[in-house]
Amino acid sequence: MPTYRDIQQVLEAVGEVIVQHIYFVLESGRYPLDRRTSPLLKSLQARAVQARSAGGQFTASASLELYALDYLEYLDRGRPKFTKKVPLDALLKWMRKRKIFNRRKGGQFKSANQLAFLIQNAIYRNGIRGRHFLTPAFSEGQQLLDIYLNEDLLNSITLELDQVFKKRAA
């Protein structure tokens, strides 16, 4: 029977595969992110966590938890048309970070608030296309987990068969 340490190591390996797949997808494509400067990619991590019972005691089960900034979900799913508008303060923060301000629109300069309002309405009308990278990343992690589980199952069956044959030989 596998120990918690074995399960934790397997889950950590699966988590690393998921994180690396997400890195690969987000660092390539039309709008690549940079791992050194992107807060989203810096925040991305997977951890194997041991479960606790209601009394606070550790149990034999473990799980894999993925941690990232909130907008990872929006980057994956996108944003449908005509849903709740993006908050202006979030857009202003994004614009300051990317140094987007005082842009000329239609022959006249727009303030940061006016530009944020235009962006907000454009997102509201057009939506944002999602990148759909989480499902393939989880599928890749599931494949690795299946390989580990099948290998572990094969090892335990082989061990049991060896024990049965040793008993018969004796």
What string of H, E and C letters represents the secondary structure of the chain?
CCCHHHHHHHHHHHHHHHHHHHHHHHCCCCCCCCCCCCHHHHHCEEEEEEEECCCCCEEEEEEEEEECCCCHHHHHHEECCCCCCCCHHHHHHHHHHCCCCCCEECCEECCHHHHHHHHHHHHHHHCEECCCCHHHHHHHHHHHHHHHHHHHHHHHHHHHHHHHHHHHHC
Residues 147 and 164 in one domain: yes
Residues 47 and 64 in one domain: yes
Residues 10 and 65 in one domain: yes
Q: Provide the pLDDT for residue 104.
A: 64
Residues 9 and 52 in one domain: yes
Residues 163 and 93 in one domain: no
pLDDT of 110-156, one tens digit each?
Answer: 788 889 999 999 999 999 999 999 999 999 999 988 888 777 767 77
Residues 69 and 142 in one domain: yes
Structural domain boundaries enclosing 116: 81-126
Residues 69 and 94 in one domain: no
Residue percentage of the chain with pLDDT more than 70: 86
Q: Provide the pLDDT for residue 121.
A: 96
More confident: 94 or 22? 22
Residues 62 and 101 in one domain: no
Residues 74 and 135 in one domain: yes
Residues 70 and 44 in one domain: yes
Q: Provide the pLDDT for residue 21.
A: 94
Residues 66 and 149 in one domain: yes
Predicted confidence (pLDDT) at residue 8 exceeds the cutoff of 90: no
Residues 67 and 97 in one domain: no
